[in-house]
């Protein structure tokens, strides 16, 4: 990393705080969305559960939905098929991460259970995304995590319990601290390559 860029970021930050006080400059360009409009589009779910809607589901309920809507692409056991990749897999996959053929399954690699929920809701089922109800998404997430031996089969997942699920590879990422992520200087990146 480069000192000049570090300085440059400081200037940008100052410019940013100056901008904070500003009023809008361009009249009648853009509209104020209604709360409903925002709610309909705001589908982001954060790692701490921000944005998760109220709802719940279990692996048993998820299994039935999986068989009906997901197995056609991901295979009956979720081990992957022609269209969809493998999604079931737990700690055994995590142990492949130091080999030349690491397996990045949902259970073995993904650091957050909330990302599983978020991706199912935004992207699945293929070509019908956005059609699953929150309860169906909680159920499918429970099914995947239970099949991957991360949660017990009877655990109820809801907006409170889902963010508390500890994924096996949660600590497998660097830098570990969020606040170090944007700063390539702190990360020790050299010649375009981070350590």
Partner 1 sequence: MNPKKTDRRRFLKNGAALAGLAVGASASALPAAAAAEPAMEKVDELHLYGERSHFVTTVRNGSINNPERRVKDEQVAFGLRTPIQDLEGMITPASLHFTISHGFEPRDIDPQEHRLLIHGMVDRPLIFSVDELKRLPFVTRFHFVECHGNSSPRGPGGDARVSVNATPQETHGFTACSQWTGVPLSLLLKEAGVQKSATWIIAEGADEPKHSKSIPVGKAWDDALVAYGQNGEPVRPEQGFPLRLIVPGWQGINNVKWLRRIALVDEPYMAMMETSRYPSMRLDGKSRWFEFELGPKSVITRPAGGYHMPGPGFHEITGLAWSGAGTVKRVEVSTDGGRTWKDAQLHDPIARKAHTRFSIPWTWDGNEATLQSRCTDDTGTVQPTIVEVAKLWNADVDFFKKTEQVVGDFNAIQPWKINKDGSVQNALF
The least CB distance from residue 81 to partner 1, in Å, is 9
Contact (CB, 8 A) for 148 and 105:
yes
The least CB distance from residue 93 to partner 1, in Å, is 11
The least CB distance from residue 60 to partner 1, in Å, is 25
Judged by the rule CB under 8 A, the positions of this chain that interact with partner 1 are 2, 4-5, 8-9, 12-13, 15-17, 19-20, 22-26, 29-33, 37-38, 41-48, 50, 82-84, 97-98, 100-102, 104, 106, 109-112, 114-115, 118-119, 122-123, 126-127, 129, 172-174, 178, 181-182, 184, 189-195
The least CB distance from residue 182 to partner 1, in Å, is 4
Q: Which is nearer to partner 1, 55 or 85 (CB)?
A: 85
How many Å apart are CA 164 and CA 157, to the nearest integer?
10
The least CB distance from residue 154 to partner 1, in Å, is 27
Q: Which is nearer to partner 1, 164 or 190 (CB)?
A: 190
Instruction: Spell 10-48 as b/e; 16+ CB within 10 A means b.
Output: eeeeeeeeeeeeeeeeeeeeeeeeeeeeeeeeeeebeee
Count CB-CB contacts under 10 A for residue 107. Answer: 28
Q: Which is nearer to partner 1, 109 or 138 (CB)?
A: 109
What Cα–Cα distance (Å) separates residue 94 from each residue in 48, 57, 68, 84? 22, 26, 29, 20
Q: Which is nearer to partner 1, 64 or 181 (CB)?
A: 181
Provide CB contacts within 8 A for 7, sequence distance 6+: none
Nearest to 116 by CA among 91, 82, 150: 150
């Amino acid at each position: 990393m480069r000192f000049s860029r570090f300085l440059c970021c400081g200037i940008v930050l100052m410019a940013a705080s100056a901008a904070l006080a500003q009023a809008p400059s361009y009249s009648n360009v853009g509209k104020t969305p209604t709360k409903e409009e925002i709610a309909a589009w705001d589908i982001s779910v954060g790692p701490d559960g921000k944005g998760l809607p109220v709802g719940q589901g279990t692996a048993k309920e998820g299994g039935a939905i999986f068989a009906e809507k997901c197995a056609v692409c991901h295979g009956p056991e979720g081990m992957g098929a022609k269209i969809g990749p493998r999604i079931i897999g737990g700690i055994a996959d995590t142990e492949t991460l130091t080999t030349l053929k690491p397996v990045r399954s949902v259970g073995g690699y993904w650091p957050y259970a909330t990302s599983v929920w978020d991706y199912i809701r935004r992207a699945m089922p293929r070509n019908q995304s956005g059609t699953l109800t929150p309860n169906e998404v909680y159920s499918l997430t429970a099914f995947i995590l239970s099949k991957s031996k991360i949660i017990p089969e009877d655990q109820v997942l809801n907006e409170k319990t889902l963010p508390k699920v500890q994924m096996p590879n949660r600590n497998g990422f660097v830098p570990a601290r969020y606040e170090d992520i944007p700063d390539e200087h702190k990360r020790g990146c050299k010649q375009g390559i981070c350590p």
